[in-house]
Amino acid sequence: MITADALHPQYIKSSKGEDSLVVLPVKEFNRLIEDYNDLIVIEDRRNEGKISLQELRQNLETSNNV
């Protein structure tokens, strides 16, 4: 996960001298979006049931034999 220290933002000021926009390098922006999407998936799956490692292995073996 990307941290704030790893970002290299450039700030664009308004005519009043206040920060109004932030520009990030494309790679950093894409990493932020990937992290955000990962967090959404984690939240969506938070209440999913859990299965044992043995069940997972059996499911994988079954799906590989199809």
Per-residue model confidence as pLDDT tens digits over 47-61? 999 999 999 999 999
Q: Which amino acid is at 23?
A: V
Q: Where along the chain do its domains lie?
A: 4-64
Please tell me what DSSP assigns to residue 17: S
In this prediction, residue 65 carries a pLDDT of 72
Assess whether pLDDT exceeds 90 at residue 1: no
Assign 12 to helix, strand or coil: strand
In this prediction, residue 14 carries a pLDDT of 96
First vs last C-alpha separation in the chain: 36
CA distance 43 to 49: 13
**How many C-beta atoms surround the C-beta of residue 7 within 10 A?**
14
Assess whether pLDDT exceeds 90 at residue 66: no
List, in sequence order, the alpha helices (H) in the chain: 26-45, 53-64
pLDDT, tens only, 10-31: 999 999 999 999 999 999 999 9
Quote the pTM value.
Answer: 0.66
